[in-house]
Amino acid sequence: MKFKGIIGKKTLLVLLVALLSISVVLAGCGQQKPAQKPQPQPKPAEKQVTIQIYFPVSTLAPESKLLDKYAADFHKQYPNITVKPVYSGGYTDVEKAIKTVINGGGQPPALAIMLATDLYDLIDAGYIVPLDSYINSSPDGQAMINDFYPQFLANSKYDGKIWSIPFQRSVALMYYNADLLKKNNLPVPDSWQSLAEVTSKLTKKDDKGNVVRWGIEWPSGWPYWLFQPLALGNGTNIFKSPTEMNFNDPRVIEAIQYYIDLSHKYHAMPEGVQKNWNTAVPDFENEKAAFILHSTSGLNGILKGSKFNVGVMAVPGKKKGTYATVTGGGNIYMFKNVPQEQKDAAWKFIEFITQPKYVADFSINTGYIATRKSAYDLPVMKEHLKEVPQAAKVRDLLKYAGPEFSCHNLAQVRNIFHKYLQAAYNGEMSPKAAMDEAQKEAQAALKDYTNP
């Protein structure tokens, strides 16, 4: 028994030592920290990109304040992209500024708002890029394009591609003193003849025979745009294609004669070329003109500056109950020789400022027509149209709108048309002789662009 007891004690000792060792190991394991999960690596900072957009307004114009605001809103959504608007006066000033930069070997802006009619010249010069790759890669790209009014988008297309996006768009229209018509029991004109008769009756002279109010002022210092509604109202346009003019069409010649008759036969407006684009609006507001032909862009200013009810309408056509107008204004172009990251950023800005809410805001605050149909479905726009019904009427004039004059070698061809149209207005040439010569010279200027 003594032997067995000794063996038992040794066994117990071994067991105790083993248990103690296990306890130490387990205690050590319990002190180990649990394995940590991999920490997410911080994202690399997005590359800072700065782009310029050239815009055709003076720094004091309301459009510049709007674009500044849109650029600031854009930066909040895209902190790595800074948009710097550059204001260069009118459309011609923007064109000259960009050409000066490019011809001097500099880098053009990423974007510019230029005349929609500049399309062919910009393509021929190799200045701009088509936007189809961006449109097609955007989930909502095609839906966005389909939402623009087709009358505006027509100036964006060439050779099966889209080269610009409508933004600051207008139509030519007549503003008239509705109170004056009512006071004199005169109808709103609905034909060439009625327009001539109404405006003739509204022309007023003082006791000395001096005109104190013209029935109509029809600026012709920059003539093609405000002449086009007359040609369109007679069933044609002044051009057939980007390489074929229609200056000496008999219907164009007849429209020129009608313009001359308004002054020489009906004495409803000043004779000759009327270089009164800048004075027509104040003349209208001060009741020195009962009708004026001008741009949609003047709507807000005219409504604020007039102390009478203002009517808006398309230009009456030759036939009773017909009307015509023409689109105008600027599109957004993307320039070719800029870094790819600037082009990508520029497309994001195009998408941003052509959202319906910004399109509506721009229209409400300027008078330009909202370029996207869905903009007119927004509550803010519906409320605006209730307060300013003329804005709705201006939009509805699009159904009468023909395409604005645009072609290859535009500057030279346009100057040819201007020279001979003004010669006819001033009585220096007959309308037919003037347009025959204009057609001949214009086609000669286009010979390098016509198919053999």
pLDDT tens per residue across span 204-252 = 999 999 999 999 999 998 899 999 999 999 999 999 999 999 999 999 9
Average pLDDT, the chain: 91
pTM over 0.85: yes
Task: Give the span between the Cα atoms of 283 and 298, in whole angstroms.
Answer: 13
Q: What is the pLDDT of residue 136?
A: 96
pLDDT interval class at 11 (50, 70, 90): very low
Query: Is 19 among the domain residues?
Result: no
Tally the domains of the chain. 2
Query: Is 370 among the domain residues?
Result: yes
CB 205 within 8 A of CB 290: no
Q: What is the pLDDT of residue 9?
A: 46
pLDDT per residue as tens digits for the range 13-33: 444 444 444 444 444 444 445
pLDDT per residue as tens digits for the range 190-209: 999 999 999 999 999 999 99
Q: Examine the domain organization and report whether 320 and 434 are in the same domain.
A: yes
Distance of CA 196 to the CA centre of its chain: 33
Burial of residue 67 (number of CB atoms within 10 Å: 0-12, 13-18, 19+): buried
Q: Examine the domain organization and report whether 311 and 352 are in the same domain.
A: no
* 410-425 and 431-445 helices, crossing angle to 10°: 170
Query: Is 440 among the domain residues?
Result: yes
Query: Is 84 among the domain residues?
Result: yes
Task: Give the span between the Cα atoms of 158 and 262, in whole angstroms.
Answer: 38
Q: Is the pLDDT of residue 343 over 50?
A: yes
Q: Examine the domain organization and report whether 275 and 199 are in the same domain.
A: yes
β pairing state of 81-87 and 49-55:
parallel
Among the three residues 370, 387, 402, which one is the final residue of a domain in this structure? 402
CATH of the domain at 344: 3.40.190.10
Q: Examine the domain organization and report whether 395 and 263 are in the same domain.
A: no
Q: Examine the domain organization and report whether 183 and 305 are in the same domain.
A: yes
Task: Give the span between the Cα atoms of 449 and 242, in whole angstroms.
Answer: 9
- Which are the contacts of 159, defined by CB distance < 8 A and separation ≥ 6? none
Q: Examine the domain organization and report whether 235 and 198 are in the same domain.
A: yes
Q: Examine the domain organization and report whether 191 and 231 are in the same domain.
A: yes
Residue 409's alpha-carbon distances to 96, 125, 165, 228, 239, in angstroms, are: 16, 10, 22, 19, 13
**Which has more confidence, 439 or 20?**
439
Task: Give the span between the Cα atoms of 413 and 286, in whole angstroms.
Answer: 37
Query: Is 282 among the domain residues?
Result: yes
137: helix, strand or coil? helix
Q: Examine the domain organization and report whether 414 and 356 are in the same domain.
A: no
- Containing domain of residue 368, as a range? 49-170+329-402
Task: Give the span between the Cα atoms of 103 and 113, in whole angstroms.
Answer: 19
Among 29-33, 320-324, 339-343, the range scoring the smallest mean pLDDT is 29-33
CB 219 within 8 A of CB 272: no
**Strands (DSSP E) found in 358-407:** 401-402
